[in-house]
Amino acid sequence: MPKRKLSNETVPGDISKSELPLNPATKKIRTSKAKGKPPPPRYGERPESLWKVGAHVSAAGGIENAIINAAAIGANSFALFVKSQRKWTSPALTEATISSFKAGLIEHGYEPRHILPHGSYLINLGNPDAEKRQKSYDCFLDDLKRCEALGIVLYNFHPGSSVGQATTKESISLIAASINEAHRATKSVVTVLENMAGAGNIIGGDFKHLADIIGEVEDKTRVGVCLDTCHMFSAGYDLRTKEGWDKIVADFDAQVGLSYLRGMHLNDSKTEFNSKRDRHENIGMGRIGILGFHHILNDTRFQDIPLILETPSFEKPEVWAKEIAALNGLSGASADGLEVVVGGVEEVVKKAGGGVVKPKPKKAPKKAATKGKKKAKGKDLEQEDEDEEEEEEE
């Protein structure tokens, strides 16, 4: 398929790679000097690094708060929801909110290309039901228009599902058609497809799915890919070894093209390799292990793009601050002796209330008559990830 050319040209609000600092330093978080207003808490230092590590932060209380929350944990990139991820419609952004957000980006020194908003979980552009797909498209388009209003240049979303009512090829064409229509209705935002864990009818578990969607997108400059490490691992892409990581990158470049890579989600996995299940774990504490992330943070091809944590934070900012610091520390570090890095993350996670397996309560024995029902329930549990992606069936 045609590959988008790599370029050193900048987009509005960006800086060129030649201007990026070569030596690590620490950025200071600017705080409000307004009387009576305390400065925001700080959980981590924000180093200047070519690898832009951050997290999906809360925008509660106002979308501009996402910037403060990102800076407070030492993030050099961040993700957010531009509206409620569980509702089809939300109140319009006010001019005051838009101005505050743009001012916050300048104040805290965030480049638009290092912000990777996540789309609504309700959206399924691959649904063959025209009415349901239109509802998803309207939500999708609204997200893109919000991004443009805020000066955000990227928008990450899950491709969708055939819901078992269409072939993969048919669903892929529907997704591409919606992207094309949305591009015509907007001006600049790059629509970023996310790879998926490969469950059931969900599109995106195979790099070829992403390549085929991009192949049908008319404006190749406005489409890209976000690679999620947990999704890759669960879909059968093994990044635990250096050889495995190099093969993944080579396969992605051959099928899709590295020029389309616009971001990553850095998540360890609770489930085993090729499980087809999407269960995020804290960095180094899952089945991928710390070495998988060491490969990424020492691969120069993954510099200058948002590298976003979506790991459990237990609503404790210090968890992400520790993980961000740990990931930044992997750059240039030896692959030996990384247990101390994992130990530091485990300590913070346990203090936050995670990392401990709670014993399951004993259940009353099931009656023989419920055996078939129990089996069906187990099947439902295996499909729960897919069901989360198919809320358009409501």
Contacts of 276 (CB under 8 A, 6+ apart): 197, 198, 199, 200, 205, 234, 235, 385
Average pLDDT of span 105-126: 97
Q: How many of the other CB atoms lie within 10 Å of CB of 90?
A: 16
228 is catalytic: yes
* Residue of 46, 265, 277, 294 with catalytic role: 265
Contacts of 379 (CB under 8 A, 6+ apart): none
CA distance 176 to 161: 13
347 is catalytic: no
pLDDT in tens, 118-133: 999 999 999 999 999 9
CA distance 116 to 82: 10
For residue 272, what pLDDT is reported? 98
Length of the chain: 394
* Residue of 64, 278, 304, 385 with catalytic role: 278
Contacts of 377 (CB under 8 A, 6+ apart): none
For residue 8, what pLDDT is reported? 38
231 is catalytic: yes
280 is catalytic: yes
* Residue of 45, 253, 299, 310 with catalytic role: 310
Q: What is the DSSP letter of 372?
A: H
158 is catalytic: yes
Average pLDDT of span 282-294: 98
278 is catalytic: yes
Provide the CATH number for the domain formed by 40-358+367-393 in this structure.
3.20.20.150
pLDDT in tens, 159-201: 999 999 999 999 999 999 999 999 999 999 999 999 999 999 9
310 is catalytic: yes
> pTM score, two decimals?
0.83
Phi, psi of 223 (to 5 degrees): -140, 145
* Residue of 86, 184, 243, 301 with catalytic role: 86
Between 388 and 282, whose confidence is greater?
A: 282
What are the sequence ranges of the domains in the chain? 40-358+367-393
CA distance 1 to 252: 12
387 is catalytic: no
121 is catalytic: yes
* Residue of 4, 48, 121, 382 with catalytic role: 121
Confidence at 1, pLDDT banded by 50, 70, 90: low
